Amino acid sequence: MPYGYRILIDFHLTLAFTVFVQSLGLSLVAWRTRKSRVLPPGFWRWQSIMQVLVLILAASGIGLYLLSLRPLDPLHYLYGVLALLTIGIERGLMPGKGLRDVLAEDYGRFHEVWVYFGLSVFLMLMFGRGITTGLWGF
């Protein structure tokens, strides 16, 4: 395998571990603030950073795919697609965004702490599972 390919694989893996740890951290912050109904301003900065990193992770994964460096388990692609859909939902649920306004209007209240706790835990599971299928194929 050429050296450039190994760098791209290592980059992809490093990003995967980074967003895994970030989603763990965001879920812990949400859990700690569960009684307040409002997430701290720093949460939204880290949330935005993670969303950008997931897009870069997806781009590097597409690059690996195009270079025929595919994971052994085809479920790896499913985890990537689910992560992308989840960050899209998270983006729409951020303060001042349309999806959040629609949910608050339809249901009368929106408990951002529990919603983001659930989404962050889900992402952590998707990244963890993606890491295991990418590295070991199971």
Tens digit of each residue's pLDDT (9 = 90 or more) over 100-117: 778 777 777 778 899 899
Report whether 135 contacts 129 (CB < 8 A). no
Distance CA 48, CA 104 (A): 21
Range of the domain at 54: 3-136
Q: Above 60 in pLDDT, residue 9?
A: yes
- Per-residue DSSP letter, 94: S
In this predicted model, which residue has the larger pLDDT, 30 or 138?
30
Does the model's pTM come out above 0.85?
A: yes
pLDDT (tens digit, 9 = 90+) per residue, 53-83? 999 999 999 999 999 898 888 899 999 999 9
Number of domains in the chain: 1
